[in-house]
């Protein structure tokens, strides 16, 4: 899963592709909450088996996205993306949620 900070507008995503793209690629984000699909303008670099894509996009906090990278009709990469401003290592789904006991 790819994690991005919604407070930034420029993002860099690194993935391991199914194959090395040699032509232009399409980077499509599908918001699982709003059901909106967006194709972002991107640039990419392929180094040592890693596809590094830099793009501009305004993400919403705590929303899930599907990533689909294609070259023509071939799928280069498919995966998930999550937008959070929390540190990925310390992410807590219940951060800021008040918990109380009913006992």
Domain total for the chain? 1
Position 57 in a domain? yes
pTM above 0.85, yes or no: no
Q: Does residue 98 sit within a domain?
A: no
Domain range for 81 is 2-86
| SS3 sequence of 22-39 | CCCCEEEEEECCCCCEEE
Average pLDDT over residues 18-31: 93
101 falls within a domain: no
Q: Kindly state whether residue 43 falls inside one of the protein's structural domains.
A: yes
The half-sphere exposure of 26 on its side-chain side, counting CA atoms within 13 A, is 13
How sure is the predictor about 26, in pLDDT bands with cuts at 50, 70 and 90? very high
pLDDT of residue 93: 55
DSSP secondary structure string for all residues of 37-86:
EEEEPEEEEEETTEEEEEEE--PPTT-EEEEEEEETTEEEEEEEEEE-SS
Q: What is the pLDDT of residues 40-50, one digit of tens each?
A: 977 899 999 99
Please check whether residue 102 lies inside any domain of the structure. no
User: Which single residue is written with the structure tokens 């990469």?
Assistant: 77
Q: Tens digits of per-residue pLDDT, 43-70? A: 899 999 999 999 999 999 889 999 999 9
CATH no. for residue 11? 2.60.40.10
Q: Does 81 map to a domain?
A: yes
Kindly state whether residue 56 falls inside one of the protein's structural domains: yes
């Amino acid at each position: 899963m790819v994690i991005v900070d919604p407070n930034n507008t420029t993002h860099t995503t690194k993935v391991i592709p199914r194959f090395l793209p040699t032509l232009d690629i399409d980077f499509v984000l599908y918001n699982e909450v709003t059901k909106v699909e967006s194709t972002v303008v991107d640039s990419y670099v392929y180094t040592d088996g890693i596809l590094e894509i830099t793009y501009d996009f305004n993400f919403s906090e705590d929303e899930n996205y599907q990533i689909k990278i294609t070259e023509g009709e071939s799928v280069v990469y498919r995966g998930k993306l999550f937008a959070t401003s929390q540190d990925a290592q310390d992410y807590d789904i219940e951060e800021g949620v008040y918990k109380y006991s009913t006992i």
